[in-house]
Amino acid sequence: MLHWELLVKVHLISRMQNTIRDFLENEPKHRSKNLTFLVYFFFISMTLSFIPDLYFGLWKNIWFWVFISTYLAGVLIVKKYIGLDWAAHWFLFGFNFMAFYFSSIIGKDSNIHFLFFVSILLTPSVINVRSKRYVIFHIISPLFFLLLLVLFDFSIFSKIEDVTALHEAIFGKVNMILVFILFPVVTWILIKSYQDIFKKLIESEKEILDKNSELSKTNQELDNFVYSVSHDLRAPISSVLGLIAISKMETDPVQLRHYETLKEKSLLKLDSFIKDILDYSRNSRIEITPQKINWQEYITELTKEFEYLPKAKYVKVEIAIVQEEEFYTDLYRVGIIFNNILSNAIRYSDKQKEYSFVRIKGKADKDKVYITIEDNGIGIAEEHQQKIFDMFYRASEDSKGSGLGLYILKETLEKINGTIKIESEVGKGSLFYLEIPNLIKY
């Protein structure tokens, strides 16, 4: 039991790690897009805003534009060749230093210092928020620059000589307009980034809840599985061992042949049970492989495997499936599905009836195949119909199977996105409705 639980938990932890890994891989992509967008945005904004009459000759100062272009181009180069984190640090610190420098040389009324608040708002968009020390640094550094400006009355560096009060006031208005443009843009980037992160977290949380639910279901199934497997595997073996012990004391050839027949039945039962376990295991492990199928031919060929069942010669199998389009499905899993239904229909045919039948009808289009399987066997009581697809559930006291067949059938159908429904009445028979999708659509 602990072995099976360990396997399931290892699988669950592995899936959760994959989810976390996907999240960690996607977050840098968002930050990278934000940083690239901001570089181009600031370059265009500065180009449009720095007009000659308001910026006192900066437009004509080639060294100013060399500095700005080197700074912004450097961010993109560092991002490409050194890494996103270093580029983000360069971008934010350089932005803060330029705001600090120009606030000092142009003056307080230029309102350039308001860009510090834009920088603080930008930090979560471009910095890895898991690196707390860097986040704190890029929030504190603009506040530190602002404090220096206030302490030194915005005159740490020499002011531009030809700045007049009128020009400084106009400059301040332009910068306020720029800040009011930047704030919505930066806020939008921040909200968009966190919306994407939040969406990913919600998806991760949902997947974890689904996995927890799946684990609970698996644990319950494993409890039933271990109990039933240990019982059903030992029963035929115990029976054979008992017959061997009796055979050793028997001398009558007729009686010995009878014991051999009983041994054979027990071993066949054991073989059938092991086959069910293998089908269950393979269904969960083997990848889906679409293959072309002709439904009429395939099911007709499949029914030949049941000709040697004890009751098969008393049951008439009728097959009529109309197929006009090419259809692709997983033949291995379809074999499991129809093997279980047909073997049950023959095994539980009603020996009291003069004529027993199994009628398979269907229609396949380009999207799905719709199949009905009707028999006039002993039927299934209504109180059992919702449970017959449960693991190890036996609806009939006469059942000699493992109780895994219909459970495996349903699990196999779900693997290929198929569905099954049942209508049944005791003494009259059963009717199964199958829908199986085309795995390759045109």
CB contact at 8 A, 115 and 99: yes
DSSP string computed for 37-86: HHHHHHHHHHHHH--HHHHTTTTT-HHHHHHHHHHHHHHHHHHHHT-HHH
So what's the pLDDT on residue 360? 93
So what's the pLDDT on residue 292? 92
Least confident span in 51-60, 218-227, 249-258:
51-60
Q: State pTM to two decimals.
A: 0.46
So what's the pLDDT on residue 438? 92
**E runs forming strands in 280-326:** 291-292, 315-323
CB contact at 8 A, 38 and 72: no
167-209 confidence digits (pLDDT tens): 555 566 666 666 677 667 767 766 776 666 667 667 767 777 7
Mean pLDDT, residues 200-222 taken together: 72
**Per-residue tokens: 271:** 């073989």
> pLDDT-derived band of residue 3, with 50, 70 and 90 as boundaries?
very low
Amino acid identity for residue 372 in this structure: T
d(CA 257, CA 342): 31
377-389 confidence digits (pLDDT tens): 888 888 777 777 7
So what's the pLDDT on residue 166? 47
So what's the pLDDT on residue 51? 45
250-288 confidence digits (pLDDT tens): 778 888 888 788 777 777 777 766 776 776 666 667 788
Q: What is the share, in percent, of the chain residues with pLDDT greater than 90?
A: 11
Residue 357 has pLDDT above 80, yes or no: yes
69-93 confidence digits (pLDDT tens): 888 888 888 888 888 888 888 888 8
Torsion angle of C-alpha atoms 234, 238, 239, 240, degrees rounded to 10: 110
The CA distances from residue 65 to 46, 47, 169, 212, 266, in Å, are 10, 10, 23, 58, 91
Paired with 359 in beta bridges are 318, 374
Higher-pLDDT residue of 10 and 197 is 197
Mean pLDDT, residues 151-179 taken together: 66
312-356 confidence digits (pLDDT tens): 788 888 999 999 889 999 988 888 888 888 888 888 888 888 889
So what's the pLDDT on residue 102? 79
Residue 59 has pLDDT above 80, yes or no: no
Higher-pLDDT residue of 48 and 43 is 43
Residue 48 has pLDDT above 70, yes or no: no
Higher-pLDDT residue of 364 and 185 is 364
How high does pLDDT run on average in the chain? 76
Mean pLDDT, residues 289-293 taken together: 90
d(CA 115, CA 356): 87
> pLDDT-derived band of residue 16, with 50, 70 and 90 as boundaries?
low
Higher-pLDDT residue of 49 and 425 is 425
So what's the pLDDT on residue 293? 92
| Domains of the chain from N-terminus onward | 2-210 (no CATH), 288-437 (3.30.565.10)
Strands of the 368-375 sheet, one edge to the other: 315-323, 356-364, 368-375, 429-437, 419-425
